[in-house]
Chain A
Amino acid sequence: MSLLSMFRRRDSAPVARERLQVLLAHERAFIGKSDLLAILQEEIIAVIAKHVSIERERVQIKLDRGDPISILEIDVEVPSAAAAAAIGEARPMMAGD
């Protein structure tokens, strides 16, 4: 390490402190209420499935924790009318087999 780079080096401890403060503020709110994301995923799927036929695996739920806001991202793949009809038809047929 050169003498210059030694003076130029930025302190990393304040970064650690800030990252921890943001992270823990969120974790304290979410952990303990069991797995918030898993619960959200189940309930959101249930609501959507009431009205649209969807496949469980095609639902993505992400939580991006940040300061000052967090983003809850729900990505639901809704099949086109034809595909939905195919899914709808396939099911009774399989049940009938």
Chain B
Amino acid sequence: MATVVVVTSGKGGVGKTTSTAALGAALAQSGQNVVVVDFDVGLRNLDLVMGAERRVVFDLINVVQGDAKLPQALIRDKRIDTLSLLPASQTRDKDALTAEGVTRVIGELREKFDWVICDSPAGIERGATLAMRHADTAVVVTNPEVSSVRDSDRIIGMLDSKTVKAEKGERIEKHLLLTRYDSARAARGEMLKTEDVLEILSIPLLGIIPESEQVLRASNLGTPVTIGNPNSAAAKAYFDAARRLRGETLVVKVPADPRSFMGRLFGRRAVA
């Protein structure tokens, strides 16, 4: 039985695509059959973050419109063979994505994979609602910052009203993935703390991804951080988040990369 996950946030630039790639890869690395689906029609980027931008032939719109069969559009990852990508199209016509077409494609993906991870576009428009439409589980990506928390709250409201599960009166599982977190700044009172965000949004915590230079490095290279640098703090956090998605109960830690001498001095002063 496949699980459809939507990675969503409302606000742009908080790490949806990065997190889709890293979580998808982490699940695939643990032997699960995973497809990551880019719903950002017109502004596709998941292909780039996954390092598959030169292998895109057909895309989600082609499959939705019946111009290509699903297996033709799926791109198998070269590093992890249980990981696939269904890219978005670059067409500017967002109406090409129809509700019926998406229903059919998600149905077909459910038969082929254990996990269908949908990377939502930013905003609360059609693309975002279609991406969340069939989700069993939502990963709400949030930065510890006021506008991101506010937008996440909006998205949580939409998950509870506009998804198929919600309309059937069932509960959609929602998880908070806190990204770009800086524990030192939070301890100094300069950044919202995890507890603050959890209290405000009141959904369970899937993980805390520390602000890390390894995340940018991963997208520069087109290699999800869990594949490219599995020992980094960010990768460890994503591995833990993936295990929680699978239902494991783990204590949430904020992994930290080893700091430089100056960084350590600074960090100690800050926490004290």
Contact = CB atoms under 8 A, between A and B. Distances in A.
Chain B binding surface, main DSSP class:
helix
A13 B190 contact: yes
A11 B188 CA distance: 7
A12 interface: yes
Interface of A: 11-14, 16-17, 19-21, 23-24, 27-28, 31-32
Give the 9 A-B CB pairs with smallest separation, nearest first. Answer: A11-B189, A17-B196, A13-B189, A16-B146, A24-B153, A13-B192, A20-B200, A16-B192, A20-B149
Contact of B191 (A13, A20, A28, A31): A13
A13 B193 contact: yes
Contacts, number: 39
B247 interface: no
B150 interface: yes
B161 interface: yes
A13 B190 CA distance: 5
A12 B196 CA distance: 13
A27 B190 contact: no
B33 to A, nearest CB: 37
B153 A12 contact: no
Contact size range, B: 10 to 19
B154 interface: yes
Contacts of B190: 11-13
A14 B189 contact: yes
Contact of A32 (B161, B189, B196): B161
A13 B186 contact: yes
Contacts of B66: none
A70 B51 CA distance: 51
Contacts of B149: 20
Contacts of B150: 20, 23-24, 27
Contacts of B153: 24, 27-28
Contacts of A28: 153, 157
Contacts of B200: 17, 20-21, 24
